[in-house]
Structure 1
Amino acid sequence: MMRKIGMICFAISLALISCNTNEEKTTLAPLKEGEDYLITISTRLGDMKAVLYDQTPQHKANFVKLASEGFFDDLLFHRIIKDFMIQGGDPDSRNAGPDKMLGGGSPGYNIPAEFNQDLIHEKGALSAARKGDRINPKKESNGSQFFIVQGTPFSREELAVQNTDIKSLFALFDSLVNMEQFNDLNAQYGELQMDGDREKLFKFIWEQKGTIEKQFGAELEKPMTEKQKSTYTSVGGYPSLDGEYTVFGKVVSGLEVIDKIADVATQPGDRPVEDVKMEVKVEVLSKKEIMDTYGVEY
């Protein structure tokens, strides 16, 4: 159960942020009824095909606009964390030297969050990067930076941990063990602290979750449908990002390319040792053709 706990900190710190240097502009004609966009993200490790969701119209229109202008071409996947995600779209990454700090670039604007409970961070999800809550309480998306989820399949127990407000769990546990009626728990907690085994300590606190929820009338675990649970335990992904970052699309072909990119050697700061450049193209096809070709409904 504990093998993915450490990745929670990455979910909290994912927030990053993004100027178009291309002069050539391309304007796509409005879609006709029944048409949609197929996105191709090409890299030296292969191509990924993706669709963009109608439920997130501002993110969809923005991504299509930038891609049709060539904004993303020659930008890097500048931040890669295996079993988590691959991130790119920072305009500062174009022709960036090996020592250049990346992750702070943008086209000069944000996009309002477009959360939808049916659009989740399953493997292959395209989601928008953003600045952290402290300076971005509305969780607005960066205008160009995005990440593609790799994640891994979770057991049901691991999924419950991922879907729980861990900060609140710890805070309420601290209040619990300071109550006189829970002196025995406090004594056990003290012994585990002396022992110094963090995994055992977390497991002990986790085992008190039911007691904590009953004592304080708290609901620490976010609701999740059976479909979501089934997806995260089979396909995999990263559920703790749901409701925190806007999912606006999905890779429908080339999931193995995500794995190849996630496997590259990285240096401190999670930038690949050897650059992984992208080229992003937009193609207009009938929605039926896209769904029939790639076996996807969206």
Structure 2
Amino acid sequence: MLVALGLALGFLSACNQYQPPAETAEPEASTTPNLPGPNLIALSDSNVAALLTPYLQQYPADEVIIRTRHGNMRVRLYDDTPVHKANFLLLARRGVFDETVFNRVVKGFAIQGGRGENRTVRIARYRLPPEFQAQRFHKRGALGMARYDDDENPDRRSSSTDFYFVQGEKLTPDQSRQMAGRSLTPEQVRTYASVGGVPALDGKYTVFGEVVEGLDVIDKIAAEPVDPYKWPLKDVPIKIEVVEK
């Protein structure tokens, strides 16, 4: 299990090595100037928190519906990870994720999406500051953001587009503590035993939401046959609808 876990950790860490061409091109005039919120080609590491915080206050929402050919997932976004929450809502409303697929699948670990080969919505390359919260951990159904590994990204900033859902597996208390490499709260031990998850990811990747309906969709996507790069042989397109207040 530990060898497989090590390979799977790389699956999340390498996300930004394959940015789509639209994110690396020179910025051009926004094609959606009248839409509320920040211009997607103006976002950067240095201004993303300052721009997204007022956006979330002005255009709040708590849930999204993720539609796939395997069914729908209703996802609650956490208030205590406001930058990640605001970024996800902004990109969902702008249709960024609607041109993407689940592009990396590791059964028993996680399904990762947010990458598309034919994205037309222009977006700058930027990252999000980490928002680690002790009470937000990698239980089954958790929503997190992928990132570069620590050597290239010592601040552990998250990708702006590459997200993942945890599948994981049920673990005994000893297994979850060993995998975590640290002490766990009684709630975490109970959850990893009864629901499952991947405690080795805690404190390394920002968890900013969780599936509240449609957990079985994760299992269905995780069961898809994949190529050597863990990309499903048959694309699993993504459509995201914000549940507006």
Alignment TM class, shorter chain as reference: 0.7 to 0.9
List gaps (5 residues or longer) in structure 1: 96-105, 165-221, 286-298
RMSD: 2.4
Aligned twin of 2:101: 76
1:10 aligns with 2:19: no
Question: 2 CA distance for matches of 1:272 and 1:23?
Answer: 31
Matched positions, count: 214
1:238 aligns with 2:235: no
Question: 2 CA distance for matches of 1:268 and 1:60?
Answer: 32
Aligned twin of 2:226: 266
Question: 2 CA distance for matches of 1:93 and 1:244?
Answer: 30
Structure 1 pair 32–64 and aligned structure 2 pair: CA distance change class (3 A): closer
Structure 2 residue identity aligned to 1:132: D
Aligned twin of 1:281: 241
Structure 1 residue identity aligned to 2:214: G
How do residues 24-103 of structure 1 correspond to structure 2 at under 5 angstroms? 24=32, 26-27=35-36, 36-92=61-117, 94=119
Question: 1 CA distance for matches of 2:228 and 2:8?
Answer: 18
Q: TM-score, normalised by structure 1?
A: 0.67
Higher relative contact order (CA 8 A, sep 6+): 1
Identity of aligned residues (%): 38
String of CA shifts for 1:105-151, please: whole Å, max 9, x gaps.
Answer: x8400001010010001111110000010010010001111111011
Structure 1 residue identity aligned to 2:179: Q
Question: 2 CA distance for matches of 1:30 and 1:266?
Answer: 37
User: Secondary structure of the equivalent of 2:84?
Assistant: helix
Structure 1 pair 72–32 and aligned structure 2 pair: CA distance change class (3 A): closer
CA contact (8 A) 1:149 1:237 kept: yes
Aligned twin of 1:253: 213
Question: 2 CA distance for matches of 1:148 and 1:72?
Answer: 15
Aligned twin of 2:150: 133
Question: 2 CA distance for matches of 1:134 and 1:32?
Answer: 37
User: Secondary structure of the equivalent of 2:97?
Assistant: coil
List gaps (5 residues or longer) in structure 2: 38-54
Q: TM-score, normalised by structure 2?
A: 0.80
